[in-house]
Amino acid sequence: MHDNQPGARRRLDFAGLRVPAASYSLPAPSETLHLGPDTPDRFDALYVGRLTVTDLTAAEAEFLRAYFLAQLDTVRDQNIAAFERRIPRRYAAVRPAGRAGDWATAVTCDPQNAQSLLVLGPTGTGKTHFAYGALRAVAETGVRVSWQAFTEPDLFAHLRPSHGRDDEQALRDVASADVLFIDDLGAAKLSDWTEEVTYRVINYRYEQCLPGIYTSNIPPKELASAIGGRIASRLTEMCERISLKGDDLRKGARS
Ligand SMILES: Nc1ncnc2c1ncn2[C@@H]1O[C@H](COP(=O)(O)OP(=O)(O)OP(=O)(O)O)[C@@H](O)[C@H]1O
Ligand SMILES: [Mg+2]
């Protein structure tokens, strides 16, 4: 088992094997001896970056790819079960749509280079629905990814100074999630404290290149004045913008 070695994990040639960047365990030598007496050693060398996939035989590469993908199948089922336990009931039926699948692939294969998503549009156009679909897409990749989801007002409630708790740790826990979803940016009343908290969370993710999903129904031109110019500027650089248009879907549901 090598999957607790972050350095080794980073050096494994995920792209060459065409598998997401995840923690995988290697097969036991007894499982690979049919591929050749040197196979276990070559797999070990590949795992720590001393060999690349092109140094393997085609049969070895195919075996390892299938072995790793089988591990994702197990995690995928666990991920989806956890996702379905945590998602708000209203959005329980969401499925990935539009860019969500490609985004999930980017988030799991190359998180440091994955753009975050800024989903904008008027009330009821499906921003929250889309965002939970994107989180589901991440779960469906089978890569173990920690995610946190808050509406902006709930995030402030969660981070409000609380007696007997390490408030800095609470902020770090939110800011450092593998994927962070903040719904309804600009929904809470702006104050020096809310602006500071949002700035610290977004700036951490900006500096560490961590992917997330942010939604708002504030028109793009008004975003800076609603959430603060320095936060809006970072979001603009770190996010791909998705604009949802149309009527309020809730009105359609009522008629
Ligand atoms: N693609 C979709 N297919 C089916 N139902 C959808 C879809 N998109 C949104 N809905 C439904 O429409 C309603 C409004 O969607 P949602 O809550 O995502 O809107 P919103 O843009 O987040 O609104 P707000 O700005 O008020 O938060 C919800 O009941 C949601 O489940
Ligand atoms: Mg919403």
Local structure of 55: helix, strand or coil: helix
What's the pLDDT score for residue 2?
A: 41
Residue closest to 117 by CA, chosen among 250, 242, 247? 242
Note the pLDDT of residue 142: 94
> How many whole angstroms from 34 Cα to the centroid of ligand 2?
54
- Cα 126 to Cα 59, 132, 189, 216: the distances in Å are 46, 10, 23, 11
Ligand minimally distant from the alpha carbon of residue 90: 1
Distance CA 128, CA 215 (A): 7
Query: In sequence order, what E strands does 121-216 have?
Result: 147-151, 179-183, 212-216
Tell me if 234 CB under 6 Å of ligand 1: no
pLDDT of residue 255: 55
Give residue 109's pLDDT.
Answer: 85
pLDDT score recorded for residue 7? 39
Give the model's pLDDT for residue 22: 86
Distance (angstroms) between ligand 2 centre and the Cα of 251 equals 14
Measure CA 181 to chain center.
Answer: 9
**How confident is the model at residue 15, as a pLDDT?**
83
- Please report the pLDDT score of residue 11 as a whole number: 72
Residues carrying CATH 3.40.50.300, the chain: 87-254
Q: Which CATH number fits domain 87-254: 3.40.50.300, 3.40.50.740, 3.30.365.10, 3.40.50.10860?
A: 3.40.50.300
pLDDT at position 8: 41
The closest-lying atom of ligand 1 relative to the alpha carbon of residue 248 is 14
CA distance 136 to 143: 12
- Taking the chain (255 residues) in consecutive chunks of 10 residues, what is each chunk's mean pLDDT? 41 85 90 94 91 95 95 93 96 96 92 95 97 98 95 97 94 97 95 96 98 97 95 98 94 68
Q: Is 123 in the pocket of ligand 1 (CB under 6 A)?
A: yes
Q: Would you say the C-alpha torsion 74, 79, 85, 89 has a positive or negative sign?
A: negative
CB 78 less than 6 A from any atom of ligand 1: no
